[in-house]
Structure 1
Amino acid sequence: MTRWEVIVKYLGYVLLFNALFFYISASISFFFHENSLTPLLYSAVVCTILGSFPLIFVEKIDEVNFREGMVISVFGWILTCFVGAVPYFMWGGEFTFTNALFESVSGYTTTGATILKNVEALTKGLLFWRASTHFIGGVGIILFVLLILPSAAGTRSSIYNSELSGLSKLNFRMRTRQIARVIVVVYLSLIIIEIALLWTLGMNFFDATCHAFATVATGGFSTKNLSVAYYDSVWIEVVIMTFMLLGSIHFGLLYGTVTGNKMNVFTSKSVRTYVGLMFLGIIVVAAKLTNDGFYSWWTSLRYASFQVISLGTTTGFATVDTPNWPILTVIIIMYFTIQCGMVGSTSGGLKFDRVLLFYQSLKRQIKLVLHPSGVYITKLENVVISTEMELQTAIFFILYLVTLFVTALLLSSMNVDGMTSISASIATIGNAGPGFGKVSSLGNYSSIPDAGKYVLSINMLLGRLEIINVFALFTVLTYKK
């Protein structure tokens, strides 16, 4: 039986966490005497009131079962996205209700797709709130809540298990609260270091903070219309590329690297293969751009490196617009947008580990065809992968590709051109943001019909919740025992 009072109580924590960042954003608007103060302050007060009621009137809960944890996780994301749209809609400008919701979902899911034609028209308070949705969504508001919950270990474990995939836990050998602490510590450390570096390289502190939030969260919201291209600085690009890449690697391995654990970035075969494949993609794209006369070799390498890493980690920053790039480079970048980063990171998409596991499973199946009586196992990072996990990965692949196809089909039925439909579908379910066609790197989603924006908003949420959790939620809500 699902206890809704338990779910409402923990959703209250989610609202209060959002309220904290509303207050910070409102303070920025107050300091700069901006007209976004009222929308942000109103949102903060409403979140505080609604979030406080369950904590006051619902008695203390000692345990949360897995079914309740699943509902808290999925509903927490949905509620947060609606709450985050309020200040946009109240402020107005380009933000109709549809656009406000799209921007909010894009921010929290760290997709980075925007409907804004003029980002720089936003006030600093709204720009900070926009960046904050990336910060909150980067490791997931649920994990932040887990860290501060004064609840029993069983409660934290139930919610944690409903939030993270089983494959991402391979590189964590610790308890739930320790895992949440490690993730948040690594996350905050990367952000602080990047802020310091970007500030040192010439960004003002506000822009450095917003870009660091977006980089480590692999989100992509910039404070500038031209994104990172605005700064035209190789060193700023190098710093952002480095932290995009770090944000897409399993946080447990990053933690192990700093603490001297044997499980770290340098000992991981998955990391070496992931980085090696991305490097190969960069070289091929740069060679094609040079060969076709787009740029010189070093300029091609500069643009190729940033675009492949940006979209391959699902961040979505841009240093150049890509609609006229050769089709070979488009296909390569689209592949990386589908594959994306590693499990246990802030990256979206299929996840490289799943792709690697798929190929390992394929090798095992080929061996079984050749030697039916043989006994073979599938291993990842020297860990034996169960047949159940292999099956879950295969099912996830199918669901992911079917969702991608259906979304593209729906957009095409709304008279959106083919390249834009396919590209927008890939970019949103992978939480990558920009794509090609009308939604290219320096473009936006303003031309997509309102119905299409709702479809893409659902697509972004499905991608962030890894699809199967949503199906599991429906099972939880309809299952009777």
Structure 2
Amino acid sequence: MINYRPIARVISILLVIVGGLMWTGVPFSAYFDEDLRPLLLAGLATIGLGALLYLVPFRRGIPIRKREGYLIVVLSWLAMIFAGMLPYLFSGIIPNVADALFETVSGMTTTGASVLTDIEIQPRGLLYWRSLTQWIGGMGIIVLTVAIFPLLGIGGIELFAAEAPGPTSDKLHPRISETAKRLWLIYVGLTVVLVGVLTLLGMSPYEAINHALTTMATGGFSTRNASAAAFSPAIQYALIAFMFLAGVNYTVLYLSLKRRWADVWKSEELKAYFSLVVFLTVIITIKVYHATGSQDLEQAFRDSLFQIVSLLTTTGFVSADYTSWTTSITLMCFVLLFLGACAGSTSGGIKVIRHLVFFKNSYLEFKRLIHPAAIVPLRLNQNIVPGRIITHVFNFLLLYLLIFVFGSVFLAMLGLDFMTSIGAMATCLGNVGPGIGEVGPVDNFAWLPGHIKVFLSFVMLIGRLEIFTVLVLFTPFFWRLN
């Protein structure tokens, strides 16, 4: 039987944290002489609801089982999403519930798709909250809560397994709370460093904070209508570097900080990630340079590298309209929507490690055909990959493909054209932001009907929570008593 008391306790703490984070936007509203009430009231309502849930009787030392772990993750994200809608609704900048839901889900899942048609006229305090929703969702606020679980008398390993992105969640420390603290220290540290770098390169402190929050979250919300194209080449190169870092497994980043270079270079996923960026940059730079004769080679290289890293890490910043280059480049960029960066990073998508498992196992299958009696194990980072992991990866890939296909067909049945249907489905499921068709890099999602936005909001959520975490709740055996 599912124990709902620890679930209520965790959600109550999360709501208090989210409400407090809302109030960090109040100084920006005050500085820019804007209405303070939306953020103040939204924060008060969120904290108040969290306080009420905290009153639910709770006994320390209760273990969280798998069922409670998955429920906590999904229900916590839903609670954060509905709380995150309040500033938009209270301020009136997004008065429609479907639009507010879409914008909040896009923020919390770090997708970066938006319904705001003119970002630069919006209140600065609310734009900061919009950026902060991505930073909250970037690592997953559940991991932050795991760090304080010892104070609640709850063990958090099941939560970490349900929330951590990718097929594996390497532990940096034997205690899961210590792991979460280390992850967040790296996350916060890189965000602070990027704020300083962007400020030194000419961004205003306000814009530097916003873009640092959304870059390290691989989210892509910007304070400018033109996104990253509005800034200097130096700023774009800085964003490229930190987007790339945000797409690296945080375990690898931790090992780098510890100068354990031998362990870092053993990561096959990191090598594949880096090689993919280099290979695609060379190919697309050449094609862009020849396709747009008016561009110089440096700009062709910068635009190509920026869009490759932005799409591969599922950040979604835009420095150029890649759909206007050539059909082949558009197709390559569309394929990038299905890749994702490294597992254990803040990026969305399928993740490089799953592709590695798939291609390496497929290659080894040819060897098994020639030598049917031989035992040919799959190895990654010099370790044998267990059969259950291979099965999980193949099931994930098949389920991901099926969701994309059926979702695209469903969108087409609702009236979208072919290119827009597959573009919207791919970018929302992969948590990327820009797609192709009428939801490309220079478009947004404001024109879509409300029911389509609600559907795509659900797609973004299951993509962010790695599909199984959400869909397992819809299976009958999840709710059985035994």
* TM-score, normalised relative to structure 2: 0.95
Aligned to 2:481: 480
Aligned to 1:145: 145
| Whole-angstrom CA distance in 1 between matches of 2:307 and 2:95 | 28
- The Cα offsets for residues 21-67 of structure 1, whole Å up to 9 and x where unpaired, read as 111113322343312x2221111111111111232342233122221
Aligned to 2:97: 97
The one-letter amino acid paired with 2:250 is: F
Aligned to 1:283: 282
Identity %: 31
CA contact (8 A) 1:111 1:433 kept: yes
Does residue 431 of structure 2 align to residue 423 of structure 1?
A: no
Aligned to 1:18: 18
* TM-score, normalised relative to structure 1: 0.96
Aligned to 2:469: 469
CA 1:165–1:26 in structure 2 vs 1: closer, same or farther (change >3 Å)? Answer: closer
- The Cα offsets for residues 217-261 of structure 1, whole Å up to 9 and x where unpaired, read as 000000111111111x11101110000000001001011011122
| Whole-angstrom CA distance in 2 between matches of 1:335 and 1:186 | 30
CA contact (8 A) 2:313 2:347 kept: yes
CA contact (8 A) 1:348 1:430 kept: yes
CA contact (8 A) 2:337 2:426 kept: yes
Stretch deviating more after TM superposition (359-368 or 57-66): 57-66
CA contact (8 A) 1:168 1:343 kept: yes
| Whole-angstrom CA distance in 2 between matches of 1:107 and 1:394 | 29
Does residue 319 of structure 2 align to residue 319 of structure 1?
A: yes
| Whole-angstrom CA distance in 2 between matches of 1:189 and 1:267 | 25
CA 1:239–1:265 in structure 2 vs 1: closer, same or farther (change >3 Å)? Answer: farther
CA contact (8 A) 1:314 1:430 kept: yes
Aligned to 2:333: 333
| Whole-angstrom CA distance in 1 between matches of 2:178 and 2:351 | 23
- The Cα offsets for residues 280-323 of structure 1, whole Å up to 9 and x where unpaired, read as 11111111122223533322111111111111110011111233
Aligned to 2:352: 352
| Whole-angstrom CA distance in 2 between matches of 1:220 and 1:58 | 40
Aligned to 1:261: 260
Shift of 1:421: 1.3
Aligned to 1:441: 441
Shift of 1:170: 4.2
Stretch deviating more after TM superposition (148-157 or 417-426): 148-157
Q: Which 4+ stretches in 1 moved above 6 angstroms?
A: none
| Runs of at least 5 residues in structure 2 that lack an aligned partner in the other structure | none
Shift of 1:94: 4.4
Shift of 1:262: 4.7
User: Size of the alignment, in residue pairs?
Assistant: 479
Aligned to 1:202: 202
CA contact (8 A) 1:227 1:317 kept: yes
CA contact (8 A) 2:149 2:177 kept: no
CA contact (8 A) 2:292 2:325 kept: no
Does residue 275 of structure 2 align to residue 245 of structure 1?
A: no
The one-letter amino acid paired with 1:275 is: F
Aligned to 2:271: 272
| Whole-angstrom CA distance in 2 between matches of 1:42 and 1:296 | 51
1:56-67 pair list within 5 angstroms: 56-62=55-61, 63-67=63-67
| Whole-angstrom CA distance in 2 between matches of 1:254 and 1:424 | 32
Stretch deviating more after TM superposition (365-374 or 342-351): 365-374
CA contact (8 A) 2:5 2:56 kept: no
Stretch deviating more after TM superposition (138-147 or 55-64): 55-64
What secondary structure sits across from 1:372 in the alignment? coil
| Whole-angstrom CA distance in 2 between matches of 1:168 and 1:242 | 25
Stretch deviating more after TM superposition (410-419 or 222-231): 410-419
| Whole-angstrom CA distance in 2 between matches of 1:238 and 1:262 | 25
Aligned to 2:39: 40
CA contact (8 A) 1:313 1:348 kept: yes
CA contact (8 A) 1:253 1:263 kept: no
CA 1:211–1:56 in structure 2 vs 1: closer, same or farther (change >3 Å)? Answer: same
| Whole-angstrom CA distance in 2 between matches of 1:172 and 1:364 | 31
What secondary structure sits across from 1:167 in the alignment? coil
